[in-house]
Structures are given as C-alpha cells and as structure tokens.
Amino acid sequence: MISDTFKEVLQEVGKHLGRHRIDVPGARLSGVEWEAAWDHSGRILDLGVTLPLAAFHQNLQTDLPAAPSFLLCLAYWMERLQAREGCVVRCTCSIDSAGWTGPSLPSTKTDRHIWRSLFLVKELERLFPDRLICNYPGGVPPWRWPTQPRFNSPGNRPGPQGDQQLPIRVREADMELHMAGNATVIAAFPVQGPDAPTEMSRQLPVGLFEGPVARHTAVSPGGKSQVDLWCFSRDRRVLHLFELKIDGNQKVGIIPEALYYARLIGYARTGFPCPWGASILQDERNGKAPADLSTVQRIVMWLTAPDFHPLVWSAQGTPLDWFNRALQSSAIEFRIAKYLPVQPAVPGASSSVHWDATWP
C-alpha cells in the first residue's frame, strides 16, 4: 500500500528527474506499507516503510530488500528540489520480525539472506543516524555477528576466466567474462594514473563463516554472493571493486549490494573489530581475507552499468554523494562507471564496450 502523500512525493521527485513514473518496491504486496507525512510547518518530511521480515528472505538484487536504501535515495532527491529548499527528510523503516526465532544450526538459505539484510540495516543506521531509524514492532531479531568470523578464499575455476567475446544476447556472466582479463577494456577506462584500476579478475567471494570454512558453518549467502569484478591499482594501494549490471537491470538494489561487499571487505582490510562483534580473522587457509589486502589503503566501489535507476544517478546528481560523506572515515568511496555495449560494424565480428561516463 502507498499513501496519497507518498504518491505526491514520488510525483514531485519524478517530475524533477524527468520520469513519468518511479516504481516502488513491493507496492502491491501484503504487509508492505509506504507512508509520508509533513509536519505542521511543511519543512520536515517523514518517510516510512513497514516491511514483514519475509521481505529480507530474498536476494538483494530483487527490489524489496532494498527498501531502506530506496527511502534514503528518495530523501536525497526531496531535499534537492528547489521548491523544497531547506526541508529536512527523516526516514523510518519498521521491520516486523514476529515469528522468526533466529538462524538454525546449520543456517538455512533463508537465514543467511536475513542475516545479510539485517547487517545492511545496521550499517545504514550507523552511516545515517540523523536520517534513518529502524524499529521492530515484533521484537528485535536475534541477529548476531560471528564470534570467529572468517571469509572463504578465491578458488580455481574451470573454464575461461576472461577476455571472451560477447555473444549476441549478453548475460551478466558474459559481460564479466568479456571485461575480466581484457587489456583493451581497462586501457580505455576513463580513470588513469597510479591509483586507477588495472586488468580485472572476476568473482571475489565474500562468504562469511563461523569458524573454519565449511558449508555447515556459513553465516551469509555464498554462491552468487561475490564481487563481480575486482583488481588492485598499479601501486596496490587501492582495491577496486565492480558491481556490474547489464542493460535492463536498473534497480536501487545495486546500492545495498555494493555497500555490503565494500563494508565487509573493509572490515577485513582493517582487521579491526566489526561494531557488532569480533574482528574478522585472517589466519592462513582457514579463513584468510578474500585477497592480500596488506598494502590496501582505500577501497573504491564502482557501480558499473549501461544505465541506472533514476533515484541512483541522473544528470542532476546522485545520493551516493551522501554515502561517500558517511563512508569517508572508513576509506571507502562509491564511484560510477557507465559503459555502452558496442555492436560490431561487420556482421559476425566481436562486439565490445565503450566507457561512456564516470562519477564523480
């Protein structure tokens, strides 16, 4: 359900962005409610969403788990409207966790998705304490950080790992295999210099485990829960991570996905305790960091796609500006690299990509 005032907010922002319509995650689902209310002065706007915990059973690439990030993005654009100059937007996310008693041992796939989503909710609250409040009408979920958190490590994958031709119908995996190990793609990258990206590798795992790495000790989603592309800078002081999307996949969910990867690897880089518990261990094969991060001083998280959801990036700006300010002390930076697939001039020849724009 969407309240009338929330619809008016969407219309204002949509008009500003030149969009007739902005789709709202889970608008027609039972138990999902989007609300908005102005105070008596008309200067303070409260945006809110009510979600069942079932919303967090899903992959972050679906819309609904991205609802808290959707609120923050909408708040960013409302505060930038000329007609609303000086207004303040506050966000509230109510999560009904009734009926969930915590992860089983070993955890189920659903448990692991819930763990990741609640981790992100906590991170968003930490980053935006003056903008986002979360409450739990069914009781605070029994979420915890592992006492001996460990990452899995990249393994040897069968088959080609990069520099592959693009097929006519491109899937995300095809684009990964084209960009990874492709010297031409990285040579044309619009950012150059000693801290710029180098030749990319694909699929950096960020599976988190309780103690020794094994299927039954998994805490967070594994399998597809991996950074699409990654590399070090030439001076190895910057770790570049790439969250890659292809044409037709423009969702706000790219932001929480990217934040999850950058934040977890950020904790591994520093070796410091996570705010929620013990530090991530980096002891030999049984849980070392995803890569050798000993020289890394900064993480750059690239959002890479041919196009983006209007709330994520437009000619007028991006809420990633808020995220970068909040993440500055953590040495994590969000950036955008827009690419365009290039069809071959000669039928049958290999297609490629053209880097179109970057932000900032």
159, 131: one domain = no
Average pLDDT over residues 123-128: 94
209 & 295 share domain: yes
| Distant-in-sequence, close-in-space partners of 349: CB < 8 Å, separation ≥ 6 | none
pLDDT recorded at residue 287: 44
Confidence of residue 127 (pLDDT cuts 50, 70, 90): very high
130 and 203 belong to one structural domain: no
Tell me: do 335 and 216 sit in the same domain: yes
Say yes or no: 64 and 179 in one domain: no
Name beta bridge partners: 35. 48
Q: Is residue 86's pLDDT more than 80?
A: yes
pLDDT for residue 160: 63
Residue 52 lies in a domain: yes
Structural domain ending residue among the three candidates 106, 135, 164: 135
Query: 64 with 165, same domain?
Result: no
- The H-or-E segment that residue 263 falls in is helix 254-270
Q: How many CB atoms lie within 10 A of CB 77?
A: 24
In a domain, 247, yes or no: yes
- Asked if residue 133 has pLDDT above 90, the reply is yes
User: Does residue 145 lie in a domain region?
Assistant: no
The pLDDT, as a whole number, for residue 159 is 57
Residues 183 and 114 both lie in one domain: no
> Between residues 319 and 136, which one has the greater pLDDT?
319
Count structural domains, the chain.
2
Encode pLDDT of 242-269 as tens digits.
999 998 888 999 999 999 999 988 887 7
Mean pLDDT of the chain: 85
Question: pLDDT tens digits for 284-315?
Answer: 344 445 667 778 899 999 999 999 999 999 98
The stretch 66-83 carries a mean pLDDT of 95
Residues 269, 127, single domain; the answer is no
pLDDT tens per residue across span 167-188: 778 889 889 999 999 998 999 9
My answer on whether 129 and 169 are in the same domain is no
Distance of CA 282 to the CA centre of its chain: 24
Residue where a domain terminates, one of 74, 109, 135: 135
Say if 213 falls within a structural domain. Answer: yes
Nearest 5°: phi and psi at 324?
Answer: -65, -40
Residue 228 domain flag: yes
* Complete DSSP assignment for 198-260: -S-EEEEE--EEESS--GGGB-S--TT-EEEEEEEBTTS-EEEEEEE--TT---TTHHHHHHH
Give a yes or no: residue 146 inside a domain. no
143 inside domain: no
Domain that holds residue 86: 4-135
State the number of CA atoms in the 13 A half-sphere of 355 facing the CB: 18
Q: Which of 135, 167, 194 is the last residue of a domain?
A: 135
CA distances from 5 to 11, 18, 20, 32, 100 (A): 10, 20, 17, 16, 32
| Distances from the Cα of 220 to the Cα of 106, 150, 206, 256, 304, angstroms | 12, 11, 9, 15, 24
Residues 63 and 128 in one domain: yes
Per-position b or e across 87-97, b if 16+ CB within 10 A of its CB = bebbbbbbbbb
Residue 78 confidence (pLDDT) above 90: yes
Tell me the pTM: 0.90
